[in-house]
Structure 1
Amino acid sequence: MVPSTVVYVAAVPISVIVALGLLRKWRSRKWASCVSNTCLRGKTFLITGANSGIGYETAKSLVRRKGRVIFACRDIAKAKEAIALIRKEQPLGGEMIPMQLDLSSFESIEKFVEIVKAGFHKIDVLINNAGVVVPLNQDLKTKEGFEIHFGVNHLGHFYLTNLLMDLLKRATPSRIVVVSSTLHERGNINFDDLNIRKEIEQAKKKGGSSRHNPGYSNSKLMNAYFARALACNLRNTGIDVNLVCPGFCATNLFRYSIKWYHYIFMAPILIAFMKTAKQGSETVVFCATDHSIEGKTGKFYRDCAEYNSKYNFDKDVETKLWNVSEELVKARKPL
C-alpha cells in the first residue's frame, strides 16, 4: 500500500498542473482567432522579420491561403530555412520569396526597396513586424548612429514604409499593419533625447538588464504615433493603416532580458497567460486580411477586436515626431 504522504506529495503538483491547464484554457477563450479563410491568390504580402516568431506564423497563415509572401529578413539564411519549413508543411501553398533587409541600415533599406520595385508591380499588404529588444547597458546603435530601438523599431520602418508607398498605392485597396504593443502605454517621447542617452548611462552604472526596457516601450509608442499620423495622411486614398498588439507571446524577442531561471520562477504565470507565437499572430493576420475592417483606418487591434489605448495621445507630438523623423532620415545621422 502506498503511504498517504507519498500520495499527497504526488497529488499537489498534479493538481497545480491541472489547475494551470484549466486556467490557460479559460484564458485562451478570450484570445480570438482570425476566422477569415478567403483565398489570397494574387495578393502580395511583405513581412519584416518573417523568419521567426509572430512574423513566421503570420507568413505561414498567409501562404496556406495561397498568398505570395516576401520574407524581409536581416539574416537571409534564416529566411530560407523558415521558407523550407513552411514549404515542407504546405507543398501547395503560396509563393515565398526570401529577401535581405537590415532595418538598422538606411543603405540596406534603400537597396531592398530598389530590388522590390524592380521585381514587383504592387504590394497589397505591408506588415511592419520586425523589432529588437536589447539591454540598454549594451548601448547598441544602428549604422547611422541611432539608438537601436529608436533606429530599428521606429526609424527603419518609417523610412521603409514611405519608400514603398508607390507600390501600396498601386494595389489599393491595400493595407499597412504596424505591430506595436500595449507597452506603448509605458512609453515616453523626449525630443531632447530621442536616443535616450540618460537612460543608457543609468543602465551602464547599474549593470545587468532590466525587465522593463524604456527604449522598447518608447519605440512602441513611436510606432503608434507613426501609424496614427500615416492613417491620417492616407485617409481616403484606399490604404488602411492599423496597429496591432499581439499580446504576451512566447517568442525570442525578450531573450536578453528573460533568463532561463525566470522560466522556472514564473512558470505558473507563463503557462496561464503567455500566448504561443501562433496565437499572437492571429490579430496580425486579421488586420492584414479580414474584409470586415476594410475601410477602417487608424485603429488599434488586440485579440481581433478594437482596443482602446490608455495612453493620452497628443496631436502636436504626433506631428512633431513625423517631422523630426523625416529630418533624421534626410540627415542620415542623429542631430
Structure 2
Amino acid sequence: MEWIRGWACVFHEFLFQRFMSSHLPNPLSLPPLSHLTCIVTGSTSGIGRETARQLAEAGAHVVMAVRNTKAAHDLIQQWQRDWSAKGLPLNIEAMELDLLSLDSVVNFSIAWNARLAPLHVLINNAGIFAMGEEQKFSKDGYEQHMQVNHLAPALLSLLLLPSLNRASPSRIINVNSVMHYVGFVDPDDMNVVSGRRKFTSLVGYSGSKLAQVMFSNVLFKRLPLESRISVVCLSPGIVLTNVARDLPRSVQVQYALIPYFIFSPQEGCRSSLFSATDAQIPEHCEKLKTGDKPICTFISQDCKHTKPSEEAQNVETANRVWEKTVELIGLPLDALERLLQGQELAEAGAHVVMAVRNMKAANELIQQWRTKWSASVGTMYDDFVLQSNGIWIAMLSAYCH
C-alpha cells in the first residue's frame, strides 16, 4: 500500500507541479544576500548552475563545489562579463569536489575548514540517476547512486559542521526527490548486492534518496538546538536536467516532448533558493525539533513546507541508516558531537590535540590555522584512533581547529 501511495505522489507531482507552483515568480525573487557564504555542489549544469548563479547575483559569496573546475571557471567568467555592466563583480569561486571519491570529499573539507571561514548555507545539489545502466560501484566500493546521492553528501555535511556552526544560524540543504516515496533502504544491504532485491537504476536512485531523507532526519534530531543549524530536504520537481540527463537518448527525446509538465532548471531551482534564503525556515525547524517525532522539514516543488514519506519517518530504520552511513564513510558514531565540541573548544582558546598519522600534513595545517586563529594546537602520534581509509584523520583535522 505504501508503494502504491508513493507512485501516486510521483505521478501527482509530474502532472500538477506546474499548476501547484503557478503562484511562484520565475525567477524567484531574492533579498540581498551579501552576508551569506554558500557552497553549492554540482553547480556547472542544471539546477545547481541556476542556484549558484542566482545566489551570486543576489550578492552571496558562492563556492561552486564541482568535479570539472574548468567548466566552472568558464561559467564564472561568462557570468562576470554578463554582470559587469551593472558595476559590481560577482563574489564567486570554484573548488574541486568529486562525490564519487570520498577522499575528494575529505580533501575539499580540509581545504575549506583551513580557511576558518563561516559557512551559512551548504546546498548538497549534485546527484546522479543513471537510468537503464548496469550496477556500478565507486572506487570506494559503494554503489554509485548511494555514494553520490547520499554517502558523499552525508560525509561533506558532517565534516563542514565546524564551519556551519561558526556561521550559526546556518543551513544544510539537501536537494532530494519525490522519488524517495517509492524508495526502500536495507541498512544491511545499502549496496544492493545481497540478492534479496534485484538491482535496477530506479531501485538505486530511489533508495539513495530515501536514505538521504532518513539520515537528514537523524542529523536534525542530533544537532543541539543551540547550534541553530537547520536541516532541510526538498523536491525540485520533475526537471529535465535534474533526472533525464543520464537517461538513454531515445528516452530523453520523449521526455522533451512534454515540456508543459517538465520544469526548466530556472523553475526547478526555486525550492533550493527558497530553502536557502527564506527567513522563516529556522523558526519552522525549531518547532519541528521540539515535536514528538523530530523530522527535518521537507520543502515541496512549490516552496511549501510538507513532510517526507511515511517510510522516511520510520525512526528505527532511520537510526540504523544513520549508524550504517557513519560506518561506511569511516567516522565514529559520535562524530557529530566531536566535530561540534572540537570547534567550540578551539574557538574558546583550548589546547587541542590532533591525533594523526601524517605529522607533516598536520603541521602544515597548524601553521595555516595559527596565522588566522589564536587557539593553541599540538600534535601527537596515535595510530589507535585511525581508520584504514584515512577519513577519521581528516575529521580530526577538520574539527581540531
**Taking structure 2 as the reference length, what is the TM-score of the superposition?**
0.69
Contact 1:125–1:176 (Cα < 8 Å) also in 2: yes
Correspondence 1:100-249 to 2 at 5 A: 100-135=96-131, 137-197=133-193, 213-236=202-225, 237-249=227-239
> Which residue of 2 is the match for residue 47 of structure 1?
40
Query: Contact conserved, 2:150 with 2:208, CA < 8 A, in 1?
Result: yes
Match of 2:280 in 1: 292
Q: What displacement does 1:93 show? A: 4.7
- Cα shift at 1:80: 1.2
Give TM-score, length-normalised by structure 1.
0.82
Map residues 83-102 of structure 1 onto 2, 5 A cutoff: 83-91=76-84, 92-102=88-98
- Name the SS for the 1:150 alignment partner: helix
Alpha-carbon distance between aligned partners in 1 of 2:71 and 2:388, rounded to the nearest angstrom: 28
Report SS of the residue matched to 2:320. helix
Looking at structure 2, the residues matched to 283 and 148 of structure 1 have their Cα atoms a distance apart, in angstroms, of 25
Distance 1:159 1:24 in 2: 32
- Following superposition, the deviation at residue 326 of structure 1 comes to 1.2
| Whole-angstrom distance in 2 between the partners of 1:165 and 1:134 | 30
Aligned to 2:307: 308
> Comparing both chains, which one has the higher relative contact order based on Cα–Cα distances under 8 Å and sequence gaps of 6 or more?
1
Contact 1:24-1:271 at 8 Å conserved across structures: no
Separation in structure 2 between the aligned mates of residue 40 and residue 279 of structure 1, nearest angstrom: 20
Given that 2:146 and 2:208 are in contact with CA atoms closer than 8 Å, whether structure 1 keeps it comes out as yes
Distance 1:307 1:129 in 2: 19
User: Which amino acid is the alignment partner of residue 194 of structure 1?
Assistant: M
Q: For the Cα contact (< 8 Å) 1:34–1:286, is it kept in 2?
A: no
**How many residues get paired?**
302
What CA distance in whole angstroms lies between the structure 2 residues aligned with 1:81 and 1:254?
24
For 1:66-97, what per-residue CA distance to the aligned partner results, in whole angstroms no more than 9, with x for missing partners?
10000000111121122223222223253111
Q: CA deviation at 1:254?
A: 2.6
5+ long unaligned stretches in structure 2: 1-15, 286-295, 331-386, 390-401
Instruction: Show CA shifts across 1:136-179 (max 9, x none).
Output: 64332122111111112111011111100000000011111111
Once the two structures are superposed, what CA deviation does each residue of 1:256-298 show, in whole Å capped at 9, x if it has no partner?
A: 324236524x555x22210000100011001101112233221
Identity between Structure 1 and Structure 2 (%): 30
Q: Could you say what secondary structure the match of 2:51 adopts? A: helix
Runs of 4+ in 1 over 4 A off after TM superposition: 23-28, 30-36, 198-203
Q: Contact (CA 8 Å) 1:64, 1:93: kept in 2 or not?
A: no
Unaligned stretches of 5+ residues in structure 1: 1-22, 204-209
Secondary structure of the equivalent of 1:138? coil
Which whole-Å deviations, capped at 9, do the CAs of 1:183-212 have from their partners, x for residues lacking one?
A: 001100112321012679956xxxxxx7x6
* Equivalent residue, structure 1, for 2:245: 255
Q: Residues 42, 314 of structure 1: CA spacing in aligned structure 2 closer, same or farther, 3 A cutoff?
A: same
Amino acid in structure 1 at the alignment position of 2:305: E
